[in-house]
Structure 1
Amino acid sequence: MLKSHLKIAAKSLLKNRNVTLINIFGLALGLATCLLIIFYVVDELSYDRFNTNANRIYRVNTDINFGGNASSYAIGPPPLATEAAKNIPEVEKATRLLIATEIRFKKGGENISETKVGYADSTLFDVFTLPMLSGNPKTALKEPHTMIITRQAAMKYFNSIDAIGKSIAIVNENADYKVTGVIEDMPKQSHFNFDYLLSMATLEGSRGNVWNSFIYSTYLLAKPGTTQATLSKKLDALFQSHFEKQPGFNKDAFAKNGNYVRVDVTPLTDIHLLSNRQYELGANSSVTYVYIFSAIALFILLIACINFMNLSTARSANRAREVGVRKVLGSPRKYLIIQFLAESVMITLVSAIIAVLAAWALLPLFNQVAGKELSISLQTISWLFPALLLIVLVVGVLAGAYPAFYLSAFQPITVLKGKLSAGFKGGGFRNFLVVLQFSVSIFLIIGTIVIYNQLHYIQQKDLGFDRSHVMVVKNTTGLTNAQTLKQQVQQIAGVSSASLSGFLPTGSLRQPNSVFTSKVPNSRNSLFTEIWPVDEDYLPTMGMKLSQGRNFQKGNITDSLGVIINQTAANMLGFTGDVSSKKLYYIPEGQTDNAIKEYHVIGVVKDFNFKSLRDNITPVVMMLENNSGALSIKMEGADVKPFIPKIEAAWNQLSPNQHFEYSFMDEDFNAAYRTEQRTGTLFLVFTSLAVIIASLGLFSLAAYAAEQRNKEIGIRKVLGASVSAIVGMLSKDFIKLVVISFIIAAPLAWLAMHKWLEGFAYRQNMQWWVVAVSGVGAVVIAFATISTQSFKAAIANPAKSLKSE
């Protein structure tokens, strides 16, 4: 019996090729899109879950409110890990990581700058699951000047994973590090990714008992059954008991002005999607995008199923006599339902096969747009095929249920007498489906326009500095003659200025500390700020403007004790009017209160954005100090390509064994908003697909309407109705549905996108025209889709539809 149903279903589908192809195309497009989004969502949700004890690992966070400046960090003080493991019963193990900046390894006769370098405690393998290919995980990082490397790094430096006992020279430290372990390459789905991990025991500061310095990424392995709330509470209590014992610390005076320093923990599996703090070990994503794209996948799949229902119903007149004849010949209704469901499942199965092939073919392009490295592996296939089978059955039954029950309910007498229109029900349901389809489409159209407007606003906003035509030469710290390089570059024709400093508006290097307005430092006269060491050419190179005062002057000895502050710092310090007489006091890093130094304010620079536009501008204090972290070069003219070989030649002359690495400041700025740019592109792609699929739905309903009103159209034409009048008659009902969709979707989209924009401290307000353009665009798309069927019906020969009357 089943074989018979399948054979009849296949013949019926082949007989109605056009309808079958449209159904298959719509479902395949929806399923392929859904699959790509599922790959994306699964990848986002899988971060850090490769660790065996992922559900018991927590990272320490620090929240500071000091001097009116609140900040949140993904780091903790040096002794916290050891003390937590000793004194908190719920903590089984603890470990720390620290990013190593500007590390240069020696390979043969050249120096290679490596970026994926960090320091790690010997307890690293007690907390994280990092499969070791060779070496002892218990002892690999215990001794100073030892290191573990990944398989990729071993092949790069030794052409083999047999690297135990061999050494790599680190040029910065003028020291050799012995390789004591080789591990597998870290998974891409990790919130940190290192190729080289140096022993933390090498750093003397890592063993200190300083509780008011925050620098180490600290991780705790909790015992089974421990809750996040319990661990946070006990950890903060431990921290406060040590923090309050600092020399000269007055707890009551500190808290009186609203100051606080607190620690808590974040689950390891929440870091990638739910954490956006300063000093993260990598670029995290947002769970908001996972929710959005998951909803889009479901909506697109729903729209595709709706199209199937509508198109099957629209062609019902052609199947009505078949149903009537079958019923007269004694076919039970359940057999008719089974046959129609079989057709539906067969279409869904073919669509699923095409969707899998399309998703596989489009995966490289999707990776490029989404910034992912997704692939279909054996592990993917293990869950993909069962999931697809379930989707085929569920979608096939759901998409075919309405047509199956609808068509099988036809009364044979009514059908065979040609009075089919009297038996049609469910117009309201079909209208609801169209409204749902276009509500989703209009919502996505508004969202896409808002995202692109915000990205354009970010690109065009005056940031307070000029990032155009600024080339940043990296790793100049390793040069013994960085000043000579700067001088030579300044002599190149077309170079307007150059500055040596690793503290860039588009960089990640930060140096937070406190400055005071009195020689006796306390919480009442302090400001928690960033300290930037710069040279006298920094402001001109960055295109920054002074609101008052002057810039640092070359050769002016007194400027070594001068500072330039930004407007935010001046406001928070209460400096008004002329600031030239103002004093600031600063304790250099690692010094005691006795080493406090007096500085005089020589200028105020206009505020500039040096963090994400999601954050407000915070205080900055610039000091005239030597810092050769990077060489920034401001070039004249729009074409910067001719300058690159000249600058590289100067570099190679001074440092022939060092790789020449550079970037452009505008590209570095754009990289900070790559997530939003990718989101905007994905929104555009998915919105286009949703509109295409929704248009297929309208196309099917327009065909249905024209078919149902075939005789009416013929009579109207005989009585003199024009083509335009008939097209308008057939289109107006659908346009009404699109207008209703707009009324529903517009306020929802407005609220949702307004909420998204609230994540930016600097944003463009939503404009009324965004909603208007979306509504007009939806109506135009709908009319263009409907009019194709309406025009076809309007120009048809009325004699064909009336010949039996």
Structure 2
Amino acid sequence: MIRNYIKTAFRTLRKNLGFTAINVLGLALGLATCLLIVFYVVDELSYDRYNVNADRIFRINNDIKFGGNDQSYASSPAPLAAALAADIPEVEKSVRLINKWGYNVKKGNQNIKEDHMLFADPSIFDVFTLPMIAGEPKTALVDPRCVVISETVAKRYFNNPLQAVGKTLTFNDSVLFKVTGVIKDIPKQSHFNFGFFLSMSTLAESRENAWLSNNFNTYVLLKQGADPQKFKAKLQLLMRKYAGPQLQSVLHVSFDELKKAGNKYDLNIIPLKDIHLKSNCVSELAPGGNILYVYIFTAVAMFILLIACVNFMNLSTARSSNRAREVGVRKVLGSPRSSLIFQFLSESVMVTFIAAVLAVIAAYLFLPAFNNMADKSFSFNVASLSWLVPGMLVAVLVIGCMAGFYPAFFLSAFQPIEVLKGKLANGFKGSWLRSFLVVFQFSISIFLIIGTLVIYNQLQYIQHKDLGYKRDQMMVIHGTWDLANQAATFKNEVKQLPGVVNATMTGFLPTMDYRNSSSLFPDRNLDQKKALLAQTWTTDDDYIPTLGLKLVKGRNFSKQMGTDTTSMIINESAARLMGITDPINKMLYAPQDNMAKIWKGYRIIGIIKDFNFSSLKDNIGPVVLMYGRDQGALSVKVNTANITTLMGLIKNKWKAIAPNREFNYSFMDQDFDATYRAEQRMGTIAIVFTSLAIIIACLGLFGLAAYAAEQRGKEIGIRKVLGAEVSTIVAMLSKEFMKLVLISIVFATPLAWLAMNQWLQSFAYRQNIQWWVLALSAFLAIFIAFVTISFQSIKAAVTNPVKSLRSE
């Protein structure tokens, strides 16, 4: 019996190749899109789940509101980890990590710049699942100047990872670290992915009892059955116990007085598995993802698949007149309705199976392009095939039955006497469900068009917004701290090169994550109500002119002014928060150590116009520039058509001073673009998926228009014989469809506006949704639909009426 169903289904589908091709192509595109998005979603949701105890691991975050700033930090005080393990019984283990921006590692005569380095407590191997292939986990990071490296790093420096333990690595030409362990490479799906883990005991600051300083990423492994919320509640009691006395000593206030003044210094927790997608704190170990994009891509995948299924339902029910006599004859010959339903469902499942095979092939072919768009490295391998094959078989059954459910029950319900007498109503008209499904399809398409245009418009706004500094033609040379005392010489020599406009040496740049925040006070009384929590950046006298910052009052730093070492320049936001009409020549006091025991006074000599030093998702906060020496990077403003030659000259200067050090550079506009890489990827993917959704919807509309024209063939023939123009016939055939598209626009436009307006709220600086975006989306939908329908309408209108009327 089943064999007969399959054979009949195959013959029916072969007989109607046009209908079959449209359905197969639509479903294949929908399934291929879903498959690619499934790869993306599964990858994003799998971060940090390789850890055996992932459900019990939490990171401690610090929520600080002070001095006009409200910010969440992924870091916490140095002594917190030890206090957690000692004072809170729910804690099984705790560990600290801190990123120190890497070192140069010697390999022969070459120095390799390694950025993926973390200092870690020995308990890192108790908290995280980091399998060690050589060495002893319990003792590997106990002693100072010990390092555990990944398998890839071990191969790079020692060829054989198993022979790396016991050997030494030379950091920055002179500092020796002993290799005490080799671990397997950390999976890419980790919120931190480092190749070097240095012993925390090497760092002097790790032993400081500084409860008001936040430099360490602290994690805890809770005991089995421990309640995370009860643990969280105990954090504030711990802070009152240990940080309270220091808060009283430094600011002369208690936690209650701090809170009463509208400020806070609260510890919070975030589950390990949520860090990648749901955390956006300062001091993250690596840039994370965004759960919102996971939701968006999942919704898009479902919408596109629904559009493809709607196509199947629409085309199957639209063909009802073609198969009505078949149903009538089958029923007269004794076929029960259940057999007819099974027959139609088998056709649906067969179409879905063929589409699924084509979808897997298409996904395989387009996977490299999708990897490039999504910045991923997906591949079809044994692991992926283990879930892909059964998953696709289940999808074929579910989608096949879902897409064919209504057509099967609709077609099998025809009464044979009505069919054989020719009384069955046919054609495009008369089906409210089919009209609803067309509206549904195009509503989704219009929603995606509006969303894509809004994203594109916001990205263009970001690219062209005046940020308050000049990033074009700005070359940033990284790692200049390696030059030590010769850094100033390198800067001066670079400034003398033809094509160089100016240069400034500091790592504190708007496009870098190099940051430092400090509490500043207008007097030595340290009144918290007058405090200013600001970014405090060490810069030279070339910083303002090189970056094109604008002085609105006062003056710049000067080498000729010896007192400028105790001077500062603030931005407009800092001036507003100070609440002083004219801050010039006023004093601000800043801490000089992590324990806040030493304070130094600085005189304000200038005010600069606000500039966006972080993402446009954030409001501009207070910034204070201090005159001093920071060798984090050298920013070079260039003005030459031959940038390649100039880069070669700068590289030669570098090699003359540091022949064995790697020359590493970037351009500031590229660094700026990298900040919005996630949004750019989303914009590209949105364009592709929107195009696919429109193509699939138009395939269905194309098929419906073809059947509508076929069913009204005799009417068209009679109208032509009576003198109707082609344009009149095209308008007649298009009117019903265009009416549905207009209804789709009415439904989709406000929903899309609400959704995209909500997305724009994540940007502090944004381009509001313009009226032309909605108008252009409506025009595109109407134009695309009209072109799709017109092809069939014109074809029917120009057909010789003799062909349609010869049977009469």
Q: TM-score, normalised by structure 1?
A: 0.97
Counterpart among 382, 390, 396 of residue 386 in structure 1: 390
> Is the 8 Å Cα contact of residues 130 and 186 (structure 1) preserved in structure 2?
yes
Is residue 510 of structure 2 the alignment partner of residue 484 of structure 1? no
Asked whether the 8 Å contact 1:548–1:605 carries over to 2, the reply is: yes
Structure-1 residue corresponding to 2:534: 529
Correspondences of 1:111-190 after superposition (within 5 Å): 111-162=111-162, 163-171=164-172, 174-190=174-190
Letter in 1 for 2:343: Q
Residue range with higher mean Cα deviation, 375-384 or 203-212: 375-384
Establish whether residue 229 from structure 1 lines up as the match of residue 229 from structure 2.
yes
Secondary structure of 1:89's aligned partner: coil
Please tell me whether residue 711 in structure 1 is matched to residue 714 in structure 2.
Answer: yes
Q: 1:299 maps to which residue?
A: 303
How far apart are 1:344 and its partner, in Å? 1.1
Q: How far apart are 1:422 and its partner, in Å?
A: 5.8
Q: Contact conserved, 1:469 with 1:640, CA < 8 A, in 2?
A: no
Q: CA deviation at 1:597?
A: 1.9
**One-letter amino acid matched to 2:794:** F
Structure 1: distance between partners of 2:502 and 2:319: 73
8 A Cα contact 1:501 1:629, kept in partner: yes
Please give the secondary structure, in 2, of the residue aligned with 1:244. Answer: helix
1:376 aligned onto 2:380: yes
Conserved? CA contact 2:427–2:708, under 8 Å: no
Query: Quick check: 1:233–1:264 contact (8 Å CA) kept in 2?
Result: no
Distance 1:404 1:599 in 2: 81
Task: Confirm whether residue 264 of structure 1 aligns to residue 265 of structure 2.
Answer: no
Q: Deviations over 1:218-263 (max 9, x none)?
A: 0011122233322211122212221111124321543342222000
1:395 aligns with 2:399: yes
Which residue of 635, 639, 646 corresponds with 2:638? 635
Following superposition, the deviation at residue 275 of structure 1 comes to 0.6
The answer to whether residue 109 in structure 2 is matched with residue 109 in structure 1 is yes
Per the TM alignment, residue 799 of structure 1 is displaced from its structure 2 partner at its CA by 2.6
CA distance in 2, matches of 1:580, 1:322: 92
Partner residue, 1:59: 59
Q: Is 1:196 aligned with 2:196?
A: yes
User: Distance in 1 between the 2:729 and 2:79 partners?
Assistant: 81
* 2:7 matches 1:3: no
1:471 aligns with 2:475: yes
Q: Deviations over 1:433-481 (max 9, x none)?
A: 0000010000010000000110100000000000000100111101030
1:363 paired residue number: 367
Residue 691 of structure 2 aligns to a residue whose secondary structure is helix
Deviations along 1:716-749, one digit per CA (max 9) or x if unpaired, are 2222211111110111111111111111110001
Q: Which amino acid aligns with 2:740?
A: L
Q: Does 1:318 align with 2:322?
A: yes
478-487 or 551-560, which deviates more: 551-560
Letter in 1 for 2:382: L
1:674-706 deviation per Cα after TM superposition (whole angstroms, max 9, x unaligned)? 000000111111100000001111112212222
Q: What letter matches 1:498 in structure 2?
A: A
Over the aligned positions, Cα root-mean-square deviation in angstroms equals: 1.6
Q: Which moved more, 1:510-519 or 1:430-439?
A: 510-519
Distance 1:423 1:260 in 2: 69
Q: Residue 458 of structure 2 is aligned with which of 431, 447, 454?
A: 454
Residue aligning to 1:506: 511
**Structure 1 residue 556, shift from structure 2 partner:** 1.7
CA drift at 1:363: 1.0
Partner of 2:567: 562
Q: Is this contact kept in 1: 2:321–2:426, CA < 8 A?
A: no
Amino acid at match of 1:273: L
- The Cα shift of 1:778 comes to 0.3
Greater mean deviation of Cα atoms: 63-72 or 521-530? 521-530
Aligned to 2:277: 273
Distance in 2, Cα, partners of 1:797 & 1:553: 88
| TM superposition shift of 1:407 | 2.3
Does the C-alpha gap of structure 1 residues 181 and 208 become closer, same or farther in structure 2, counting only changes over 3 Å?
same
Distance of 1:220 and 1:747 partners within structure 2: 46
Return the match for 2:805 from 794, 802, 805.
802
Q: What letter corresponds to residue 632 of structure 1 in structure 2?
A: S
State the Cα distance separating 1:423 from its structure 2 match.
9.7
The residue aligned with 1:669 is 672
C-alpha distance in 2 between matches for 1:558 and 1:423: 89
1:298-346 deviation digits (Å, cap 9, x = unpaired)? 1111110111112223333333333333333333332222222111111
* Equivalent-residue separation in structure 2 for 1:149 and 1:787 (angstroms): 65
Describe the SS at the equivalent of 1:575: coil
Separation in 1, partners of 2:228, 2:595: 36
**Maintained 8 Å contact 1:314/1:700:** no
* Correspondence for 1:698: 701
Asked if 2 retains the 8 angstrom alpha-carbon contact of 1:534 and 1:623, the reply is: yes
Partner of residue 783, structure 1: 786
> Which residue of structure 1 aligns with residue 655 of structure 2?
652
Deviation readout 1:534-557 (Å, 9 max, x if unpaired): 011111111111001111112321
Identity of aligned residues (%): 55
CA distance in 2, matches of 1:562, 1:652: 35
Does the alignment pair 1:612 with 2:615? yes
Distance in 2 separating the partners of 1:423 and 1:314: 7
Q: 760-769 vs 402-411, which deviates more?
A: 402-411
Distance 1:450 1:131 in 2: 46
Return 313-322 or 146-155, whichever deviates more. 313-322
Separation in 1 of the partners of 2:31 and 2:82? 51
- Counterpart CA distance in 1 for 2:237 and 2:710 is 75
Q: Which amino acid aligns with 1:532?
A: W
Helix, strand or coil for the counterpart of 2:24?
A: helix
Quote how far apart the aligned CAs of 1:418 are. 4.1
**Per-residue deviation, 1:205:** 1.5
Q: How far off is 1:591 after superposition? A: 6.1
Give the match for residue 332 of structure 1: 336
- Residue deviations 1:350-404 (CA, integer Å, cap 9, x gap): 1111111111221111010011112223222222222211110011111122222
Q: Secondary structure at the match of 2:631?
A: coil
Tell me the equivalent position of 1:624.
627
One-letter code of the match for 1:701? L
**1:609-634 deviation digits (Å, cap 9, x = unpaired):** 01110001111111111111111100
- After TM superposition, the structure 1 stretch with the greater mean CA deviation from structure 2, 60-69 or 398-407, is 398-407
Q: CA 1:700/1:552 → structure 2, altered by over 3 Å: closer, same or farther? A: same
Structure 1 position 296, deviation (Å): 0.7
Pair 1:682 & 2:694 matched: no
Q: What amino acid sits opposite 2:487 in the alignment?
A: A
Residue identity opposite 1:411 in structure 2? Q
Classify 1:765/1:592 alpha carbon distance in 2 versus 1 (closer, same or farther; 3 Å). closer
Q: How big is the shift at 1:270?
A: 0.7
- Deviation at residue 410 of structure 1 after TM alignment: 2.8
Q: CA deviation at 1:417?
A: 4.2
Provide the aligned length of Structure 1 versus Structure 2: 802
Change (3 A) 1:426 1:732: closer
Determine if contact 2:209/2:595 at 8 Å carries over to the other structure. no
- Unaligned runs of 5+ residues in structure 2 are none
Q: From the superposition, tell whether residues 734 and 592 of structure 1 become closer, same or farther in structure 2 (CA, over 3 Å).
A: closer
Q: Post-superposition shift, 1:4?
A: 1.2
Give 1:735-774 correspondences, 5 Å limit: 735-774=738-777
Residue 70 of structure 2 aligns to a residue whose secondary structure is: strand
Q: What is the distance in 2 between the residues matched to 1:433 and 1:696?
A: 14
Letter of the structure 2 residue corresponding to residue 504 of structure 1: L
C-alpha deviation, 1:209, in angstroms: 1.7
SS at 1:421 equivalent: coil
Q: Are the counterparts in 1 of residues 210 and 595 from structure 2 also a CA contact under 8 Å?
A: no
Kept in 2, the 8 Å contact 1:228–1:266? The answer is no
2:755 match: secondary structure: helix
Structure-2 separation of matches of 1:592 and 1:798 = 94
Q: Which amino acid aligns with 1:797?
A: N
